Amino acid sequence: MNHRFVRLAETNRARVRIVIDGQPVEALAGDTLMVAMLNNVRSLRESEFGDGRRAGFCLMGACQDCWVWTAHGTRLRACTTVVAEGMNIVTTQPEATWANLA
Amino acid sequence: MGQPRVIIIGAGPAGVRCAETLVAAGLRPIVVDENRRDGGQIYRRQPDNFTRPYDKLYGTEAERAQALHASFDALRGKVDYMPETLAWNIFGGKLHVVRDQRSRSLPYDALVICSGATDRLMPVKGWHYAGTYSLGAAQIALKAQACSIGRRVVFMGTGPLLYLVASQYVKAGADVAAVLDTSPLMRRLAALPKLLARPAVLRNGLALVSYLKRAGVQVLTGITPVEITGSAEDGVRGVVIRDNRGHERSFECDAVGMGYHLRPETQLADLARCTFRFDHETRQWLPEVGEDGRTSVPGVYLAGDGMKVLGADAAEIGGRLAALAVLKDFKFMVSDDELQGLRAEQAKMDRFRRGLAQAFPWPAQQAAALPDDAVVCRCEVVTAGDLRRTVREMGAQEANRAKALCRVGMGRCQGRYCGHAGAEIIAHAAGVPLEQVGRLRGQAPVKPLSMAVREEVE
Amino acid sequence: MSALKADVIIVGGGIMGASSAFFLRQRGLSVILLERGLIGQQASGVNFGNTRRMGRPIEQLPLSNRSREIWLKFKELFGTDVELLLNGHLRAGFTPAHEERMVKYAEEAKSFGIGMQMLGTKTLHERFPYLAPEITTGCYAPHDGHANPRLAAPAIGRAAVRAGAQVFENTEMTSLEKDGGDFVATTADGRIFRAPVALVTAGAWGNRISTHFGEPVPMIAKSPQMCVTEPVPYAIGPTIGAIAETFEQVVYFRQVARGNIVIGGGGHEPADIDKRRAYVNPARTLYKLKSAPRVMPAFDHLHIIRVWGGIEGYMDDSRPAMGPSARVPGLFYAFGFSGEGFQLGPGVGEVMAELIATGATSTPIECYHIGRFATPVANAA
């Protein structure tokens, strides 16, 4: 099982291609980044403090649990960001080199 | 006098009706909203390219949703609408907002905060595992994205939203393993007199329960959550509870939707320096509100769930009342009949809400029962044991002190989801009344502020 | 009501008061500490958390060095880990004029063992690759660092209690009078405390007490403007401060082990010592958002999750009132550290204990004597 969310309807939408951890995957236009990701992988990020993977919590921009890193070192709040063609997300913590990417 | 500059924060039911009432009186308010589209949470609009009709999305509330959306659409040319705009701070009579990494400070004569609510959560061991979501989240996944939060979902908590979301999931074809309500059935019977204040709503609620049962979903009441089981790598695997006879039961699932009513988003009221008072009935601090949404700060008003959780219908009334309060305070003519009528409506809603609180109480006692290794603060991964140690070994008996010493509430969400349970744990460990523990002091920004934000040059 | 007695009454439970209480106990003196709120709640708890020596006025370095020795033994002495990280302090500059300033200071301070190294542009960017290219010069003090101010004073306070100090939190002193050989403190709850020695470590409120004894000081209360990012992978070792031309441009930051980056600067706001309120001005938060990426461009990718302020006492000459009273035997002061007191805290406590117990201290603090503010009229009175 390589995804977490399950699409129940509205599947007749244009495809959007993004990259997660170097792998090209497909989402649908109108998906939030979180939904796009969780229809392809089971989690969004690694918790900073050792308790494991996180997959968001509130879906309304309140809990701040769904912030993800892009491959370019920027940060996106997945549940309030609309998925866009070409988004390039990494679901693991970048190492200290994040500070050198500018 | 000239037109007062009015800013409304929030384009949900309260904000929309407030704007409508002000526009009818000839004003042109600014409406600031964080979301892409109007509607707030319960009437959240799906993306443009989605096709589900209103009755599928909003069920019994389809007409209200449609009416609200149509009202705001009609207002578009008559208000200064600022969507995708975060109100992040209030200072010196100005509202600080940010959009597209540009910050502006907006002066106001009157500020109506219609900031809505989030789910209210009581932690359970394992609730940090991937696949645990709030009830509201489960609903948003379905309503706004046509997804289920998992292949097999358990819903746990209490309150009408528990049954509503579960039945929406069943209707949409999701696999719902169980609905687990912490409130004993008896409490609903005891609350009946108050619940009868809104007979149609009560009927709808009862219909949801029977729908679930007919659909073969296990519905248990009076349960005690024990644990969400799972793994750090793969997330939720199941839920363990004790049923109302004390027997342990487990349910396999890969997603949990959890919640105990709602809690108002009060950060902006706090930054506006409104006074708060402790509400004994619901065991939380709420902004002190006078008549029609007036706060302790002249020029600052509250309406909707962001003032006090009374539900969407009451929010529409509250929005109108706050608008009338603004108009009255700025010396416009206001119909006393209209005021009285709205206030009477709101009083009815309040009676119903008290019935809900009685029927589906906040399970305060679960906080003390949390095992030491249960995570309380998801952002900072602070456990119940960490918090208790801070009380017992470092003498912290107050919410902000505990936060300073052990980081509970110090994370990105600023205590939205751990604040209430954290306070209950502190009170219990310190042996003091909950009120004495106080509340987490609001600090800007209301939500994380990008460091790429620059002040807009006017 | 009978009075509670001790050798010393300490008024004010920040890091100065808590530390003094601890070290007085080490010397066998009995101590009563009166704190209106909770230990370390005011300036001691809200400051930036720098434990640097580099950059301090030269005359302050002996005290700073003495304090550093205690910081190095913090866990051992006080029993709590307060997240002390000694990965250095870097002062960064943009221009040759900035380089000159740093070279001058390094020269003046060279005999104090700070180990400062001037770094040229190439070395600077090799060692700290996250710095903006506009930064051309830096001075690095490898042994300086930072700690968690929310934890430090409370930890020292608890250690003082374990050592036998009588600490009264949530106890507001309503009057302090000299009665014969004793100081008599009365508190809002009606209690009375007596001691032959009183030490005022009341921070921004110290002036109220010193004025009462005929020794007003030119001090104002200001709120530091702090903010902090979300936690990100640990990458920035030293505390970093950039030389700036205006207060608005001032920015300094430190990354804690958990990953959050604390950022200060952008000037101060007035603080209200009567209402005990201090606010963060959003404009000053926005200044920092602008000036931080000038030092480290990657800041543009991060988010601020919280701001805070507090109440600090700033003297006109940026030096504390520290030492014996100029007018009243048995009265001592250690307040008004003007935003630089955190690192000095443990040392101040040790010095004040030494001074009170033996009549003198080996650490030079004469320039902090409160008598420097006395006018001829006051002296004659």
Q: What are the boundaries of each domain within chain C?
A: 4-49+150-218+317-380, 86-146+220-315
Residue B205 burial (C-beta neighbours within 10 Å; 0-12, 13-18, 19+): middle
In this prediction, residue A96 carries a pLDDT of 81
Any domain includes A77: yes
CATH node for C86-146+220-315: 3.30.9.10
Which of A87, A34, A91 has its CA nearest to residue A59?
Answer: A34
Intervals of chain B under pLDDT 50: none
In this prediction, residue B198 carries a pLDDT of 87
Q: Does B378 touch chain A (CB under 8 A)?
A: yes
Mean of pLDDT over chain B: 96
Domain with CATH 1.10.10.1100 in chain B: 366-437
The amino acid that residue B232 corresponds to is A
Name the architecture of domain B6-118+263-356: 3-Layer(bba) Sandwich (3.50)
CATH topology of domain B366-437: Arc Repressor Mutant, subunit A (1.10.10)
Q: CA of B264, closest CA in chain C: separation in Å?
A: 20
Q: How many domains does chain A have?
A: 1
The conformation of residue A98, written as its DSSP 8-state character, comes to G
Task: Map residue A78 onto helix, strand or coil.
Answer: helix
Model confidence pLDDT, tens digit, residues B95-105: 999 999 999 99
- Which one of C231, C298, C303 has the shortest CB-CB distance to A99? C298
Model confidence pLDDT, tens digit, residues C64-101: 999 999 999 999 999 999 999 999 999 999 999 999 99
Structure tokens at C268: 């101060």
Assigned CATH class of C4-49+150-218+317-380: alpha beta
Are C235 and A49 inside 8 Å of each other by CB? no
**DSSP string of B102-158, one letter each residue:** EEEEEE-SEEEE---EEE-----TTTTSTTEEEHHHHHHHHHHH-EESSSSEEEEEE
Asked if B383 and B375 count as a contact pair (C-beta separation under 8 A), the reply is yes
Are A99 and C259 inside 8 Å of each other by CB? no
- The CATH homologous superfamily to which domain B121-260 belongs is FAD/NAD(P)-binding domain (3.50.50.60)
Any domain includes A37: yes
Long-range interactions of C243-248: CB distance < 8 A, separation 24+:
C243/C91, C243/C92, C243/C93, C243/C94, C243/C98, C243/C101, C243/C102, C244/C291, C248/C284, C248/C287, C248/C291
Model confidence pLDDT, tens digit, residues C142-153: 999 999 999 999
In this prediction, residue A97 carries a pLDDT of 83
In this prediction, residue A98 carries a pLDDT of 87
Alpha carbon distance B406, B412 (integer Å): 15
Fold agreement (C4-49+150-218+317-380, C86-146+220-315) = no
Q: Does B432 touch chain C (CB under 8 A)?
A: no
The amino acid that residue B40 corresponds to is G
Q: Is the dihedral of CA C286, C287, C293, C299 positive or negative?
A: negative
In this prediction, residue B458 carries a pLDDT of 67
Q: CA of A11, closest CA in chain B: separation in Å?
A: 9
In this prediction, residue C101 carries a pLDDT of 97
ipTM exceeding the 0.95 mark: yes
**Which residues of chain C neighbour A93 with C-beta distances below 8 Å?**
233
Model confidence pLDDT, tens digit, residues C242-260: 999 998 899 999 999 999 9
Alpha carbon distance B59, B168 (integer Å): 8
Nearest chain B residue to C158 by CA distance is B394
Any domain includes A10: no
Intervals of chain C under pLDDT 70: 1, 377-381
Instruction: Report the CATH number that the domain containing residue A28 is assigned in CATH.
Output: 3.10.20.440
Alpha carbon distance B331, B352 (integer Å): 33
Model confidence pLDDT, tens digit, residues A31-55: 999 999 999 999 999 999 999 999 9
Model confidence pLDDT, tens digit, residues B362-390: 999 999 999 999 999 999 999 999 999 99
Task: Map residue C183 onto helix, strand or coil.
Answer: strand
Are C235 and A64 inside 8 Å of each other by CB? no
